[in-house]
Structure 1
Amino acid sequence: MNKKKEVLEAILKQGILPLFYNDKVDESVALVRTLYKAGVRVFEFTNRGDKAEDVFKELLSVRDREMSGLYLGIGTIKNSREAALFIDMGADFIVSPIINPEVATLVNEAGLLWIPGCMTPTEIYRAQEYDAALIKLFPANILGPGFMSAIKDLFKGQLFIPTGGVDIEINNLKSWFEAGVCAVGMGSKLIDPKQIDGLEEKTVLALDLIRQAKQK
């Protein structure tokens, strides 16, 4: 199985893609260790600060030593320079807030999963032209489950993951999965990048609610 398929299947199985940015290496490592202990096996670190490269490099190193079976991706990748940098570092997948054909080409050539952010049917169609196996609906709190329900028949077979404003609450989660998404992205609703207390319990709860929400 290739890396692209492995990561995609891991996201589908987990049903949630946790994400955060923290510019402190030690705090970021502690957060990811906690997520891993709670059962997370796919995680996105976002490229949203000057220290992203240094932190991500250390996360990969610690992962290789301690956290078997964890896939680490990098998010907020907007151009080919960023994509090439993190691909060379060893990112397992790339998440973008936009559709940049150069990024798509680089990620596809590397045999990795590219998850672009889309907000309109036209953007979704463009993402499909660049072989986006999984598309991020962003911002999810603006689009809502109704948007997913309205477009799913237009894009049969396409996998979607809403990100931005998804709540750790069974009715909210069920509304998304019933609308047709395959997983949800979750940042600040799950993770306070400066606070580790309670994160393990909160993550265990989120994973359990996701399992419930996915049941038909």
Structure 2
Amino acid sequence: MRRLDVYRTVLDQAIVPLAYIAEVDKAKKVIDAIYAGGMRSFEYTNRGVGAHKVFDLMAEHCRENYPDLALGVGSVVDAPTAALYIQLGADFIVSPMLVEEIAPLCNRRKIGWMPGCFTPSEIGRAESLGAEIVKCFPGNAVAPGFIKSLLAPSPQTSIMVTGGVAPNAENLSRWFGEGAVAVGMGSGLLRKDLLANGDYKGMEELAAKCIALVAEAKG
């Protein structure tokens, strides 16, 4: 998927589900479930030994069945890892911090890049390196009004909040009310009990609910 289409998907839907899943079959079923629920993006977090092997088969599954799904990789902390996942078909790269050497790699390959930023200086540096959307992480560590304060001197900045995002109106209204353009949702959406029980129908229904809640929170 082209980088512009990735950003458009993230901004239009304003929610990116994310998870690390160690088993290939389970990972494919998660993709099936969230896609059926209406999600059009997924961030696979690079948090386990051999995670790239699972992603490789997941990406093949998406290319064959869901070509309009933006499939990215998160928890990427160095350029070689980013290059590996881009070669395997990642549409976008997400980092928990600002890793400058990832920027030219993604820019050269026209791959979406969403670095983690926590201060105005980090945001400014990321944007000077070409970041269109920056990730505020961890969201559950910031006080009410933090996003609004970040945007005050830089209203053109697009912030996606990850960490502490919950599938309820109160939580989502906080983030979008402060000016976030999107949220990343992990365990609140891809819940451990649903994964453990193989309740993919429940996951599908929760995905659809989250899309509706986000749309309402955005107004």
TM range (shorter): over 0.9
CA distance in 2, matches of 1:58, 1:91: 12
Task: Give 2:214's aligned residue.
Answer: 210
User: Structure 1 runs of 4+ off > 6 angstroms?
Assistant: none
- Kept after mapping to 2: 8 A contact 1:18/1:44: yes
Cα offset for 1:175?
A: 1.4
Partner of 1:185: 184
CA contact (8 A) 1:137 1:161 kept: yes
Distance 1:49 1:145 in 2: 33
Whole-angstrom CA distance in 2 between matches of 1:6 and 1:145 = 31
Q: How many Å separate the matches in 2 of 1:188 and 1:59?
A: 19
C-alpha spacing 1:145/1:55, structure 2 compared with 1 (3 Å): farther
Q: Distance in 2 between matches of 1:92 and 1:64?
A: 11
2:187 alignment partner AA: S
Letter aligned with residue 101 of structure 1: E
Distance 2:29 2:150 in 1: 39
CA distance in structure 2 between the aligned counterparts of 1:103 and 1:68, rounded to whole angstroms: 25
Which amino acid in the other structure matches residue 103 of structure 1?
I
Instruction: Give the TM-score, by structure 1 length.
Output: 0.95
- What is the CA distance between 1:32 and its match in structure 2? 0.9
Residues 42-53 of structure 1 aligned to structure 2 (within 5 Å):
42-53=41-52
Per the alignment, in what secondary structure is the counterpart of residue 45 of structure 1? strand
SS of corresponding position for 1:132: coil
Q: Render the CA deviation track for 1:126-166: whole Å, top value 9, x for unaligned.
A: 21121110000000011244100111121121100000001
State how 1:167-178 maps to structure 2 within 5 Å.
167-178=166-177
Partner of 1:136: 135
Distance in 1, matches of 2:150 and 2:71, equals 30
Distance 1:154 1:131 in 2: 19
- Residue 101 of structure 1 aligns to a residue whose secondary structure is coil
2:36 match: 37
1:47-126 aligned at under 5 Å gives the runs 47-126=46-125
Structure 1 residue 68: deviation in Å? Answer: 3.1
Q: 1:144 to 1:183 in 2, by over 3 A?
A: farther
Q: Please report the TM-score for the alignment, with normalisation by the length of structure 2.
A: 0.94
Cα offsets for 1:73-121 (capped at 9, x unmatched):
0111110110111111111010011111111110111111100011122
Runs of 5+ consecutive residues of structure 1 not aligned to the other structure: none
The whole-number CA distance in structure 2 between the counterparts of 1:126 and 1:204 is 36
Residues in 2 aligned to 1:89 and 1:173: alpha-carbon distance in whole angstroms: 33
Is the contact between residue 97 and residue 116 of structure 1 (CA under 8 Å) also seen in structure 2?
Answer: yes
Matched, 1:25 2:24: yes
Correspondence for 2:205: 201
Write the distance in 2 (CA, Å) between the matches of 1:171 and 1:187. Answer: 17
Q: Percent identity?
A: 38
Q: Is the 8 A contact 1:119 1:143 kept in 2?
A: no
For the aligned residues, what is the CA RMSD? 1.3
